[in-house]
A and B are shown apart, each in its own frame.
Chain A
Amino acid sequence: MNIITIFITTLITENVILTKFLGICSFLGTSNKEKNALGMGISVTFVVLISTILTYLINKFILIPTNSAYLQTITFILVIACFVQITELIIKKYFKDLYKSLGIYLPLITTNCAVFGIILTNIRSNYNLIESISNALGSCLGFVLVLYIFTLLREKIENNDILKSFKGIPIALITAGIMALIFGRLV
């Protein structure tokens, strides 16, 4: 498939949050403030991009030649976990300001299903390196985009007069549903 097609579809029509339901925990959890949403988005993008390249190389040059593709799940989650740890250490040591603003999100990324999900999609769809990177970039930008729009919407919704039992998570889910319907028809 064309890399631009992959980029656009993953960015809008097949958005990670809205159609693949990945990263919903952080979507519902952190999207209370605009700044948090952006911080989370940037850290996720960084981790996804690098681990996409790492897992692609590991899969192609280690797992497939040794005929051990069934180890993909274990290997990939280890790569992500280690990479997140290393990133945290490096940022902590050399970029103190960045660490202060991103620090709390980094450990959460290991268990963010978006990261693992995007990497699995790359491998399962047999993308080559360029296509994988394009899928990763599109998905992450889609993640940031939806997270950001949703934060803005949520601030407005919180102040509205809604049923008491629908406050919080339920109304957030219904909003996300309407967003998903709109995004599915955009292209």
Chain B
Amino acid sequence: MNAMTIYVAKDFTRMPCVRNREDGKNSGEEFRDEILLPALRTNDQVVVDLDGVLSLGSSFLEEAFGGLVRKGYFTAKELGAKLVLKFQLASYVEETWGYIKIARKES
């Protein structure tokens, strides 16, 4: 089984902020498409380590993670089997899984 860890604060940004690329740099969409999705496609397990970030807004989290399901890249069940979220504050991990679980594939 191959696995990898993405360190968001080191590899992407300490202040995740906006949702879409058109809203600014370091968006949830950019993180999802450029970093997370390639990692998920080439690894059996991906750990996203959020420790070290200074902010975790809903717009970023929903687009980066819920967007994986909405855009049809993975189902919530598939993500449950291969994605691990790591952060010191469990409530943000739960919130993120909430976005994944309620997301519906866009028609």
A, B assembled together: no
